[in-house]
Chains A and B, each alone.
Chain A
Amino acid sequence: MRKAFTALLYVSVAAAAFLAFAWPFTISRDQDSAAYHVIAVGVLLVFFASLLVLCALRLRASRDDKAA
């Protein structure tokens, strides 16, 4: 599960970089674009969700280490 969420995290960060730097030069410069709106908010939500899960897993691992 950790690997899947790690992959999701990096995919969302790569998508964020694309949306910030490449989208206006490769897709569209329309600042009102509904597609950009939906994709950008979606990418942000996926990033936060995967970050939340991975941080929770890290915390659980820390607690298990301390308990052992």
Chain B
Amino acid sequence: MQGPSHLMISWFFADASRLDSANERRIVAWSGLAPDIDVLAYGGAILWYGLDKDLAFENVWKVVHHRYTHGLTFVLLTGIVAWLLASRFAMSRGGAGAAESAAGARAWRVALLAMLASALHNFCDIVGGGPTWPVYPLWPLSDFGWTASWSWPLSEWPNTVILFSCLAATMLYAKFGARSPVELFGSGADRWFAGVVQQGSDRPGAAARPDEAAARTRVPLRLIIWVLVVLVTIAVLAPLGFRPDG
């Protein structure tokens, strides 16, 4: 599955698990994308090979992708990092006695959800990552790679449907819930996005006044956002060989 799909699915999973703190939802959502951190090696390799993408693909990406970060070891590592971050956020909120022990329990819950999101990423890659990209469940204890021969390549329609569904759900969440996966990039960005989707203004709360100026900005801003969504989607899908005509 595409990275943005992993990220959005993990955020929705965190929200469906009734995490009310934005920081806790962020920890779980980024944990759901974390296994794809090996893309940094690909980026480094492209620079190393003087921007020769083919060499970087053959020598690095084909070797490292999924091998080291798509397994139980990385899931456990994700859980440890998530617990540390969640504990830090809980401590920064302060409190003592019962409040402290409740914060500790919340940190464990966030860590568990982060591990589940990371494990879900692996499953989604088996189903929707293509048969040529196995995951390595027990690395470094075993080099056995696991995949399914019927796995959908990234450019197949089910992955496209999932990506578009997540984008639509993001818009709906921003419109009706005043929060969305955009909060992964900052609370300010999320407030702005929700404000635009709800009110058609780039100034939060400005469209509470139903004047003509606000009404005029509504259509162009929404249009710009939809055009951006389509362009980002094309940018994600185009390198994968996706063609709308099949």
Contact = CB atoms under 8 A, between A and B. Distances in A.
Contact of A58 (B72, B131, B150, B177): B177
B221 interface: no
Contact of B119 (A21, A24, A31, A40): A21
Q: Which of A20, A40, A55 has the most chain B CB atoms inside 10 A of its CB?
A: A20
A62 B176 contact: yes
B123 A55 contact: no
B148 A36 contact: yes
A20 B146 CA distance: 8
A21 B121 CA distance: 12
Contacts, number: 90
| Interface size of B as a range | 20 to 34
Nearest to A9: B16
A43 to B, nearest CB: 8
B38 to A, nearest CB: 17
Interface in B103-142: 116, 119-120, 122-124, 126-127, 131, 135, 137-138
A16 B119 contact: yes
Contacts of B179: 62
A7 interface: no
B116 A55 contact: no
A55 B25 CA distance: 14
A19 B123 contact: yes
B12 interface: yes
A30 to B, nearest CB: 9
Contacts of B172: 59
6 contacts: A19-B123, A20-B122, A20-B137, A25-B138, A33-B148, A66-B178
- Nearest 6 CB-CB pairings of A with B: A16-B123, A54-B16, A17-B119, A20-B123, A20-B122, A21-B137
Interface of A: 6, 9-10, 13-14, 16-17, 19-25, 29, 31-33, 36-37, 40-41, 43-44, 47, 50-51, 54-55, 58-59, 62-63, 66
